Amino acid sequence: MSPPEYRPNPDDLLKGIQKVEHQRNRGKLKVFFGMCPGVGKTYAMLRAAQEKKAAGLDVIVGLVETHGRLDTENILKGLEVLPRKSGDYKGAVLEEFDVDRALTRKPDLILVDELAHSNAPGSRHPKRYQDVKELLFAGIDVYTTLNVQHLESRADLVYQISGVPVRETVPDVFLEFADQIELVDLSPEELLRRLKDGKVYLGDRAERAAENFFKEEKLIALRELALRFTAEIVDDQLREHRQSKGILSTWNTNERLIVAISHSPFSARLIRSTRRTAFNLEAPWVALHVDTGVELSASDHETLTKNLNLARELGAEVVMTKDRSVSEALKRVAAERNVTQIVMGRPDRRFLRDFFSGGNILDQLVNETSEVDIHVIRQKRRPIYRGFHIQWPKFNSKPAIYIKTSLYVGLLCALGFPLAETLGYRAIGFGLLLGILPIATVAAAGPIVFSAALSAVLWNFLFIPPRFTFSIREPEDVMMILAYFAVASVAGFLTSRIKRQENDLRQRERRSSILYEFGKRLAEAAASEEIASEAVRSIELAFSSTVAITTVSESGRISDQFLVSTERNVSEKDLAVAHWAFDNQKKAGWRTDTLASSRCLCIPLQGRSSFIGVLLLYPQDDRSLSLDQENLIETICGHLAIALERESFEALSRKTEVYEKSEKLHQALLNTVSHELRTPLTTIIGGATALRKLGTAQDQPTREKIAEDVVESAERLNQTVENLMDMSRIASGVLKLSDDIFELNDFIRSVVQRSARIQKSHRLTCSFASDDLFLKGDEKFLEHVLVNLISNAARYSNPGSSIRVVTKKNQTYAEFSVVDEGVGIPDVPPERLFERFYRAEGSPLGGVGLGLSIAKSIVEAHGGHIFAENRPDDRGSIFKVLLPSQEVPEGVLR
């Protein structure tokens, strides 16, 4: 194919500019990509790192998991390894990648293994790929590894293949940061042999993997997924490089087909034929529509829309462009898409047009194409010759324009009238002819032709002898009048073309601006509602229409509740149309073939893997959408669907993490509760069994000791059950408080007197405020708070130590504190002590970590606050409770 003049596509140019902006001043990312664990990604990464170090680069290992593989550990030698950051999580010590230390060290290249890893709670970022992103924007090159199952768009497919849910994923959009993706490939047979030799997993883990995930048929499917994804990435990179460097020659790296479609009824046959050929070749294909500027009738526009929808339904990439020449547009798009085959029908012939343009479309392609195959599909009729068609200008300018044009021509005649005797009437005629050209720069074709006709009439009447008549004697004068119309026609044609091109550029610029701003705001949106709101804002800006967006509910059907809506009157009929569009995965409603009487256009939102919702567009007038508008709304809906799908995947990932944490917490709770219930029950059963013996019953000291142990165990059991019941009431939101008024000092004195068990092991004292402190609340629940605080102080302090309960007035609050001489608060944020089921490291046996959490909930339900701090002398801890005080008149209390 002879290369046409290269003109970059504005949309592709915009994408290229955005990519250059993202790549500026950031590090390079290389991803070692594989089908599953064990193919050698980490080994390949370390080998590449050793080569970079040998070349003189500053290379460090941020984090690499060897999993006990000797080959990996051996090749790791000689590389500087960054110390990991240790953290405590629920009593377990977890080690994570230290991103802060890596940023401070700032090497030329850093290795960060397992990109999809989830960091421990409390880390700088929840995901490791976010750590990598921060390193890149700090100007550090990164090598990392990734398996195909951890790609967000492939996670569902991997689950269908393997039956193993994927917990950790990386958004596909993150891989746009990758400057290079290297596929680390291994045959399934070799991988299974490595698994058997213990080079993938060790011990029982290898056996479980062989029985579940590592099946040959599953590995083959995963390998195909990895190869296809890599091929897609390489294909996109090739296209970008060809476009950026203006390479228009065809490279037959893969078969690609293109078919040009129009409003012709024969286009449907071409589309189906191209689909069959592409299916047989397993090749992608493009359906191209070229807008040559010819205005279509309503029936032609409807036929064109049907053809475009048919191409989309059959899986084509639909491309719409503007160009005067269909053949030039076809060659340009074919070169941009690296097309190898063009499919077309036999075009009709037009004598004059084909003569001056070098033949019809087929002739032009055949005469100039050398690298692209052309397939001509036969038709039911033979090509015909079409006559010469004159496209008459449309006189749709406003009357004011014609009035101004008449005044302008009249002014020219008035200026030329006194000069006619001196210059001659033919010179005046040329002056009037030149006077038409300025009109062509500002007016449409109608006023131009009108000015030519008016100038010719006035020149004939006012200047051609005999003057003030319409008779013409000289042939030259007749030719001059004809020249008026020739000049006017050419000028009008050129003006219309320039204005149409100007309008096209303006529309394209506006479309690119809308999409750019939409994409920019979409990247910043954090929730589904924000994403939908940004889409609605862009659509309203582009179409001046109201919009409603609904998504899929948990039942798999679209919800009747809208994610966002600017249309106030969404009827049941509109919802029925939306349901039909979603179920049939086709557009429906206004100006479509289905339910066309509806006042809204329903467009299903298709993500990468499924349909996730429907967009309802309510046009403000009855005019049909132009092709540009349809293309724009399709593009916005595509971006919207992918963004909503990404957000749903992230929400599902977060929910999965919550479920996993809940499952672990549930198991830990069961283990702890069973221990807390079993220990006192064992004491009670043992004591009761001992009391049944005759010797024990007659030994009073032994009997009293056993009875005391039974009572203490029963109290411990009762407190555990009460904590669990309180937790259940608080979690369910059914905690109900009474509003009794009581005095705080008397309340505490009563509770302390009933704490006989604690007073046996600790010195429990009180220090009361001099003034009465009145509260309004539930004495029973507040007693629970005080008992939990005193029991907690006794648990974490040595026997015989002092525990003091202190009350005082604190502005508008009544304050009481429990002061102990125990181990104090550990080196953790004090607010963590009040988390449910949290137990500090080194805590004594007993307890489920609910007491302080329940105390906090009860205090806050009373409108108060609870705090924890170490004593100033570091000899214990202080727990303070502030409750709103009440001013009570005399005689109110009982």
Per-residue pLDDT at 112 exceeds 90: yes
Percentage of residues of the chain with pLDDT beyond 90? 11
3-state secondary structure at position 215: coil
Query: Which of 59-68, 577-586, 671-680, 803-812 is predicted least confidently?
Result: 671-680
Q: What one-character-per-residue DSSP string does 389-417 give?
A: ---PPP--S-HHHHHHHHHHHHHHHHHHG
Between the alpha carbon of residue 340 and those of residues 269, 337, 362, 372, 695, the distances in Å are 20, 9, 16, 5, 102
Sheet holding 373-377, edge to edge: 317-322, 285-291, 257-260, 341-345, 373-377
Q: Which residue has the higher pLDDT, 526 or 406?
A: 406
Give per-residue pLDDT as tens, 416-445.
888 888 888 888 888 887 887 787 777 777
Q: Are 847 and 839 in contact (CB under 8 A)?
A: yes
Q: Are 177 and 136 in contact (CB under 8 A)?
A: yes
Q: What one-character-per-residue DSSP string does 817-838 give?
A: EEE--SS---SS-GGGGGSTT-
Start-to-end C-alpha separation, the chain: 103
How crowded is residue 108: how many other Cβ atoms within 10 Å of its Cβ?
15
Per-residue pLDDT at 699 exceeds 80: no
Return the pLDDT at 726.
60
- Mean pLDDT computed over every residue of the chain: 79
Query: Which of 3-7, 475-479, 588-592 is predicted least confidently?
Result: 3-7
From the list 3, 726, 835, 775, the residue with the least C-alpha distance to 369 is 3
3-state secondary structure at position 384: coil
CA–centroid distance for 553 within its chain: 19
When pLDDT is cut at 50, 70 and 90, the band that residue 47 belongs to is very high
Per-residue pLDDT at 94 exceeds 80: no
Q: Which residue has the higher pLDDT, 283 or 661?
A: 283
Give per-residue pLDDT as tens, 260-273.
988 888 888 889 88
Q: Which residue has the higher pLDDT, 174 or 805?
A: 805
Percentage of residues of the chain with pLDDT beyond 70? 79
Return the pLDDT at 60.
94
| Gap between the Cα atoms of 491 and 497, Å rounded | 10
Omega into 466 within 30° of 0, i.e. cis?
Answer: yes
Return the pLDDT at 58.
93
Return the pLDDT at 61.
93
Return the pLDDT at 448.
79
Element (H, E) at 613: strand 611-618
Retrieve residue 390's tokens.
């004159």
Return the pLDDT at 796.
83
Q: Which residue has the higher pLDDT, 729 or 62?
A: 62
Return the pLDDT at 111.
94
Return the pLDDT at 107.
92
Q: Are 706 and 698 in contact (CB under 8 A)?
A: no
Per-residue pLDDT at 612 exceeds 60: yes
Query: Which of 447-456, 620-629, 837-846 is predicted least confidently?
Result: 837-846
Q: Are 809 and 780 in contact (CB under 8 A)?
A: no
| Gap between the Cα atoms of 289 and 613, Å rounded | 28
Return the pLDDT at 74.
86
Return the pLDDT at 352.
59
Q: Are 271 and 311 in contact (CB under 8 A)?
A: yes
Return the pLDDT at 431.
84
**What totals of helices (H) and strands (E) does the chain contain, helices first?**
28, 27
Give per-residue pLDDT as tens, 641-676.
888 888 887 777 667 666 666 565 555 555 555 555
Return the pLDDT at 140.
92
Mean pLDDT for 839-868 is: 73
Element (H, E) at 602: strand 601-606
3-state secondary structure at position 344: strand
Return the pLDDT at 220.
85
Helical residues (DSSP H) of 115-250, grouped into ranges = 128-137, 155-162, 188-196, 204-211, 216-244
Return the pLDDT at 694.
57
3-state secondary structure at position 348: coil
Q: Of 22-26, 92-96, 346-350, 834-838, which has the strongest mean pLDDT?
A: 92-96
Return the pLDDT at 611.
86
Mean pLDDT for 296-322 is: 84
Give per-residue pLDDT as tens, 388-409.
455 555 556 788 888 888 898 8
Per-residue pLDDT at 17 exceeds 60: no
How crowded is residue 513: how many other Cβ atoms within 10 Å of its Cβ?
13
When pLDDT is cut at 50, 70 and 90, the band that residue 795 belongs to is confident
Give per-residue pLDDT as tens, 364-397.
777 765 678 888 887 666 655 555 455 555 556 7
Q: Which residue has the higher pLDDT, 880 or 197?
A: 880
Q: Which residue has the higher pLDDT, 725 or 891?
A: 725
Per-residue pLDDT at 508 exceeds 50: yes
Mean pLDDT for 740-756 is: 85
Mean pLDDT for 298-326 is: 84
